[in-house]
Structure 1
């Protein structure tokens, strides 16, 4: 509600809706007699001191009648909204309770009703059920129900595959119980937000029905009925339509704006408060490493709310080298990769003393030049290949897009290159695979196809963000072998991100260990057994091997990694470290301890 009040439109809508509700409560007892009083000597008078907006065909005060009609208009709109909401939610949830074939029939019926014009559906229902307030309410409720049914079905389908739903069904929970306890509570928010806008639609629809003579009948009156009665005199005394027309317009606008403001406030509730503070990073004094395909110094990423997932990270990747970036989940590995690839999501802010790709500093380029350099020189392989490939397009079409967009290749050249690249990552029958869709490939083939997509250009740097996590051990080894072969054959450098230090030690040349957004140790992969930082040694010690005593519990690291918003100024690992001392209250610098070996620890 506080977020709603911060929006000017939301605040205005809330005030107007509150005023309408108050008016609906107090107007009938205060102005009911004035609205009903007939004055034959004042028939169809224009605006004047006695009647500010004139009188109707029986001499009744139009302003008083408009204000009194607020209660009936809002009441009928509320009933119609209730009918449409409840009926639509039940209809949309029905497919989840019925057998698959019956559920599909319900979905088809909903699609047909959605395609039918809402006002015609309301009029048809009103004619069938009988003209008058009851028929109009039922008609508008029926007209609203298909949209709510479509929304409910879409939202229900989005959560129906969740593990907690599968667990409830496995435990034998009845379908109606699954619906009311597990499905509907998790989709309630968007339904509630749409209800406010539906109230506005109901009000407008009911006024239209009454104006057409199919809604409220005399002697009762709502705003639409008042418009109907005044319309015959609009050319003589135009003021007679002002009050009900203005009331319909303002009330409908108020409810529509309130629903829109609720939706914006709910969307903003998930965002951290405050604006991100731009990290202060001094420019690098030295020149970029001429042998490095990637040279990053003091890379920092900040989000609103004091959240800094990456803190002064420095990395160097040279040609033909694979550098491993390892650490627990939440240590900042993937955010570091996103910052290098310039894809940090809004509202994150990235700052660095230097971010150089192939010797060119990215910050010094125009946006178009930066995109061209990243598109041609950087390839990114993400953890889930299914998310990286468009399920609606064939594999070949997605690969050829890279060559045609960045290299200007013809369709035939791009297709031939796609077949060649798929073959280079050991996909059998690549000519057939280019004609297939992603769902027709296995997980390992999809991952290799993503690697082949990265190789469609001539990348100098490959960033592989946990590319083997979702694969079984055999396929993992195949993908790692392909990555090693690609680096050796093309001379590209690679940044390999993983939480598995055993995999990193097997495939990488050098390893950078991250903890709580910082690099705490960097060393050659073959020197991991001589690691000096307590966190690196704890990671290695938690790996079982053939000599591990199976009678003992597996080694673990006590405690938990702090969240990016809770990292203090000192050593972030101090709370979990047996060597922590007084000096650990200050951040330890990353200092050289041997050739190619840097450690950030006061006690190591």
Structure 2
């Protein structure tokens, strides 16, 4: 379990193991000593014979604390189990009950949540009466409302998913929908919160026993022992100290283990699923291997109801030092997901595989974040959602240098101001102390680029950096990227929907469709030598000054296939006016010229014809030269 790999998780797991061992074996090993009455040692202080002293009957308090572990832990877990089960039932009930009954249950839960948990526990303790049974039920029903609210919230978040809607359309009943599709998907946060609730239940039970309405004599738990020891605290604090330390340590063990499990569950670098999607090899060369970034047969897959869905399918390319490459394609073509995979930002349950994925000669999938450092920078599409709205911009930039470069807080902030100046943000020192919402759209985008410049990036991946910006701000952002490239010899991978922007700024262009590169060519050949029908369709769909304003704008008919809808054959064939029988098989990306690759059967047929036609032409010429003129006579 990943939680055990953290210091907090490992320490809390050790404490829980010790507590469970004491609960199981302490009554067997020291039960007689804890119950032994010694009239010659009444209410003594700590000694070599009695580490924590004795009680009013001369019984050893140290052994009584150890033996009380079973009752304390057992009742805490029982109360947690009853409370969590009741809460889950109440929280899930509105999903299966009629609407009016569901609203009634929700209203009752909302009223109960409004009361403090301890007040509810005391209320139920009075109702159920003093004693072990009453204390356990009181704590359980005090826990239930919060778990009911949590279950309602999680259920509502899952119920809006597409697979739930699909199950409803298929006629799945409410109860089966809840048990098969909803509860399994919210089990993890419920278990984590139940672990932390166990610690709270233990402390609450000890509190009720301390007040005299929990465990009754002759039974005893830590709360009862604490109450007995408190009467002598001014004479000798040891009897109260033992039970108090036990309550605190046990409560911390449960809460810290729950927090460690929650942190591990939210970690982006989780282990991959056991069953991985099948890998397919491709013959894409992707250019030479002298690049800053080398990608060969990159695949990104996600588990689906019918198996693995692969939105990125065998992408290969190379980005060289100082080069600016554009990636274009419609929404859903896999551009941003390719960038996220290269940046190692694809979260579980997504799986990234590649025959080769290297940055600066180092394998990206096996290199640690510390070793990679800040040499790879990512500029996200929407800086408003990428910046933390509750933290100042300069503070967020400075964090990069504090974490990766070990700079002090002051030095890192000064560097952040300097980077803001480098991207030409006016009054950088003042702006660094402002929040993201105080920046305009263009300034936020430049601040995002400044964050990437906090290190010394060798590659900047810009994912739609000009989206939703006016043309003047777009120009400034693109000029900034070009200046970074020129001044730092950094490579830039520019992802954009606007093929004209790419044509004006990049050296090469990668055209993506349905998760694959369908054409790669130098930018100076884009408008003259584009061969793939999709590339030419994209170019035709861009209006210019010569476009006839009376004619309807050119469009590409149909829509791109969803990742789970891609079938055998060329994925562009349903929209392609040049599709033929052979397009039922998907073409490979082949080189047609230096730096020009195309995935189209039409292009491959032209290459075959050219290769076959050349020898025939040479043979015809040689025959004509050997035979001479057919009707030529002699002058003699």
Shared topology, TM-score over 0.5? Answer: yes
Tell me: CA distance 1:47–1:203, structure 2 relative to 1, closer, same or farther (3 Å): same
| Secondary structure in structure 2 of the residue aligned to 1:530 | coil
- 1:5 Cα shift? 2.8
8 Å contact 2:53–2:61 — kept in the other structure? yes
- 1:19 Cα shift? 1.1
- 1:135-174 matches, cutoff 5 A: 135-174=134-173
What is the aligned counterpart of 2:510 among 497, 505, 513? 513
Q: State the distance in 2 between where 1:247 and 1:235 align.
A: 20
Q: Residue 522 of structure 2 aligns with which residue?
A: 522
Q: State the distance in 2 between where 1:512 and 1:116 align.
A: 62
Q: Residue 116 of structure 2 aligns with which residue?
A: 117
8 Å contact 1:77–1:202 — kept in the other structure? yes
Q: State the distance in 1 between where 2:26 and 2:113 align.
A: 38
Q: Residue 326 of structure 1 aligns with which residue?
A: 329
Residues 468-522 of structure 1, C-alpha deviations (whole Å, 9 max, x = no match):
xxxxxxxxxxxxxxxxxxxxxxxxxx97735xxxx96999789822577998323
8 Å contact 2:125–2:138 — kept in the other structure? yes
Tell me: CA distance 1:91–1:589, structure 2 relative to 1, closer, same or farther (3 Å): farther
Tell me: CA distance 1:540–1:376, structure 2 relative to 1, closer, same or farther (3 Å): farther
Residues 124-183 of structure 1, C-alpha deviations (whole Å, 9 max, x = no match):
001101111111111111111122122211111111012221122222222111111110
Q: Residue 440 of structure 2 aligns with which residue?
A: 402
Q: Residue 312 of structure 1 aligns with which residue?
A: 319
Residues 59-115 of structure 1, C-alpha deviations (whole Å, 9 max, x = no match):
111111111111110110011110111111111112222344543443333233222
8 Å contact 1:84–1:144 — kept in the other structure? yes
Q: Residue 458 of structure 1 aligns with which residue?
A: 473
Q: Residue 242 of structure 1 aligns with which residue?
A: 241
Q: Residue 481 of structure 1 aligns with which residue?
A: none
| Secondary structure in structure 2 of the residue aligned to 1:513 | strand
- 1:46 Cα shift? 0.7
Tell me: CA distance 1:373–1:159, structure 2 relative to 1, closer, same or farther (3 Å): farther
Q: CA RMSD in A?
A: 5.1
Q: State the distance in 1 between where 2:146 and 2:239 align.
A: 35
8 Å contact 1:310–1:336 — kept in the other structure? no
Q: State the distance in 2 between where 1:111 and 1:134 align.
A: 26
Tell me: CA distance 1:529–1:191, structure 2 relative to 1, closer, same or farther (3 Å): same
TM-score, reference length from structure 1: 0.60
Q: Residue 81 of structure 1 aligns with which residue?
A: 80
Tell me: CA distance 1:400–1:17, structure 2 relative to 1, closer, same or farther (3 Å): closer
Q: Residue 208 of structure 1 aligns with which residue?
A: 207
8 Å contact 1:301–1:339 — kept in the other structure? no
Structure 2: runs of 5+ lacking an equivalent:
273-289, 301-314, 348-367, 380-399, 401-413, 427-435, 446-464, 479-492, 539-568, 599-606, 612-636
Q: State the distance in 2 between where 1:260 and 1:12 align.
A: 12
| Secondary structure in structure 2 of the residue aligned to 1:16 | helix
Q: Residue 179 of structure 1 aligns with which residue?
A: 178
Tell me: CA distance 1:100–1:368, structure 2 relative to 1, closer, same or farther (3 Å): farther
- 1:315 Cα shift? 6.0
| Secondary structure in structure 1 of the residue aligned to 2:496 | strand
Q: Residue 33 of structure 1 aligns with which residue?
A: 32
- 1:53-68 matches, cutoff 5 A: 53-68=52-67
Q: Residue 71 of structure 1 aligns with which residue?
A: 70
| Deviates most, 453-462 or 159-168 | 453-462
Q: State the distance in 2 between where 1:507 and 1:404 align.
A: 19
- 1:266 Cα shift? 2.4
| Secondary structure in structure 1 of the residue aligned to 2:473 | coil
Q: State the distance in 2 between where 1:68 and 1:47 align.
A: 18
Q: State the distance in 1 between where 2:218 and 2:102 align.
A: 45
Q: Residue 562 of structure 1 aligns with which residue?
A: none
Q: Residue 542 of structure 1 aligns with which residue?
A: 573
Q: State the distance in 1 between where 2:171 and 2:128 align.
A: 41
8 Å contact 1:46–1:53 — kept in the other structure? yes
Tell me: CA distance 1:107–1:127, structure 2 relative to 1, closer, same or farther (3 Å): same
- 1:454 Cα shift? 1.7
Q: State the distance in 1 between where 2:52 and 2:265 align.
A: 41
- 1:462 Cα shift? 7.0
| Secondary structure in structure 2 of the residue aligned to 1:521 | strand
- 1:233 Cα shift? 1.4
- 1:257-336 matches, cutoff 5 A: 257-268=256-267, 270-271=269-270, 300=293, 311-312=318-319, 325-326=328-329, 332-333=335-336
- 1:200 Cα shift? 0.7
| Secondary structure in structure 2 of the residue aligned to 1:454 | coil
Q: State the distance in 2 between where 1:166 and 1:218 align.
A: 56
8 Å contact 1:84–1:141 — kept in the other structure? yes
Tell me: CA distance 1:61–1:579, structure 2 relative to 1, closer, same or farther (3 Å): same
Q: State the distance in 2 between where 1:352 and 1:73 align.
A: 53
Q: Residue 22 of structure 1 aligns with which residue?
A: 21
Q: State the distance in 2 between where 1:592 and 1:182 align.
A: 45
Q: State the distance in 2 between where 1:400 and 1:176 align.
A: 48
Tell me: CA distance 1:20–1:517, structure 2 relative to 1, closer, same or farther (3 Å): farther
8 Å contact 2:121–2:142 — kept in the other structure? yes
Q: Residue 49 of structure 1 aligns with which residue?
A: 48
Q: Residue 252 of structure 1 aligns with which residue?
A: 251
Q: Residue 360 of structure 1 aligns with which residue?
A: none
TM-score, reference length from structure 2: 0.57
- 1:45 Cα shift? 0.8
Q: Residue 286 of structure 2 aligns with which residue?
A: none
